Amino acid sequence: YYADGRKEPDCYTRPPSLHDELTDEFGTFPLFHFWGPGADLVSSQWIIDATRHINRTRRPDLTLCYLPHLDYDLQRHGPDDPRSLQAATDLDTAMAPLLDDARAEGRTVVVLSEYGITRADRPVHINRALREAGLLEVHTQDGMEYLDPMASRAFAVADHQIAHVYVRRPEDLDATRAALDGLPGIDQLLDDEGKKAHHLDHPRSGELVAVAEPDAWFTYYYWLDDGRAPDFAQLVEIHRKPGYDPVELFMDPLDPYVKVKAATALARKKLGLRYRMAVVPLDASPIRGSHGRLPRSDDDGPLLICSTPRAVGDRVAATDVKSLLLQLAGLGGPEHQSEKRHP
């Protein structure tokens, strides 16, 4: 991040000397293929190549490799779309050399997903409901509205199918519940007891936690008029948006000049000028996949695959994954397994 507001892709390494080694070998990390409208296999391929290089030159005891590719088209198009199935095929092909290396080196391979993406095509504007109830406040600059969390009696931080609802004062809890009860797309509104039952009773959790219905997901949108949306709303800007925005995976389909705008912004960037890549739509309807609520079926949930036969039973608690990896590495046995058995 430059002082003039420009962003350039790069990677962080320890030891620092590894940075030049990787970028000299594989080029600059393709950040704009990692997230945003251009997100595709290119970023996962760079990570695969870098992982193979590190395994070959450093021979680490434990290698953790995150491949983001299946996050993209499954959210864009849904898990059953042919383009999503093709994305899985493409990633499988790209991973083959890495897995071949691991087999040749006698490594144990664990493939782990954090979640399964399911069909969800109904956006729920939870912050707009709070604003319409007079609980969420904004401040206006140059005609644009910005969330004012300190002045708000309640606001939500949305993350896929979960939203943490922060309520400033206990006396506002009833009004907040009333604003959200019956909002189409909300399946559950967890209070203290509900959070405890779902192991979400963390000090930084919202006073209420909203869970979306299976086909729904939460936006962060809080403005009521697109003409007053903040300037970052149409950018890939994960640090300023008060919640996750999967619509950043799209260019605005309603803007006939969106590609011209993108090309102009890119030209300004290459000239060293400040630029705004304002190409993200303000319409949440294109999204077709999400995650966050507990899946209705194991087929829709996360999975764990291990190259060691019978090393894993039918189910593994998320809290036991660390112990499992240590056990597979010969650094722990069953006696080190967590006593807790909740998802």
Bond preceding residue 15 cis, omega within 30 of 0: yes
Contacts of 71 (CB under 8 A, 6+ apart): 39, 117
Rounded to two decimals, the pTM is 0.90
**Helical pair 82-104 and 41-58, crossing angle rounded to 10 deg:** 10
Average pLDDT over residues 288-297: 95
Nearest to 81 by CA among 34, 38, 35, 118: 118
**Chain mean pLDDT for the chain:** 91
pLDDT band of residue 5 (cuts 50, 70, 90) is: low
pLDDT value at residue 28 = 97
Output 270 or 99, whichever has higher pLDDT.
99
- CATH fold, domain 122-255, is Gyrase A; domain 2 (3.30.1360)
For residue 2, the model assigns a pLDDT of 75
Contact status, residue 130 vs residue 176, Cβ threshold 8 Å: yes
The pLDDT, as a whole number, for residue 265 is 66
Q: Give the mean pLDDT of 247-270.
A: 75
Mean pLDDT over 121-141 rounds to 98
Q: Which of 7-11, 185-189, 213-217, 332-336 has the lowest mean pLDDT?
A: 332-336
Residue 196 DSSP class:
H
Q: In this predicted structure, what is the pLDDT of residue 35?
A: 94
DSSP string, 243-293: B--GGGGS--TT-TTHHHHHHHHHHHHHTT---------S--TT--EE--S
Distance CA 294, CA 214 (A): 9
Q: Is 212 exposed, middle or buried (0-12, 13-18, 19+ CB in 10 A)?
A: buried
DSSP category for residue 168: S
- Report residue 177 as tokens: 């519940």
**Pairing label, strands 122-124, 186-190:** unpaired
pLDDT tens by residue, 298-343: 999 999 999 998 888 888 999 999 999 988 988 775 554 444 333 3
Give residue 336's pLDDT. 46
- In terms of Cβ atoms closer than 10 Å to its own Cβ (0-12, 13-18, 19+), residue 201 is middle
User: Is the distance from CB of 127 to CB of 156 less than 8 angstroms?
Assistant: yes
Q: Give the range among 81-90, 169-178, 214-223, 260-269 with minimum mean pLDDT.
A: 260-269
Mean pLDDT of all residues in 73-77: 97
d(CA 167, CA 190): 13
- pLDDT tens-place string over residues 158-178: 999 999 999 999 999 999 999
Q: Which residue has the higher pLDDT, 7 or 116?
A: 116
**pLDDT class of 154 with cuts at 50, 70, 90:** very high
Q: What is the mean pLDDT of residues 32-55?
A: 96
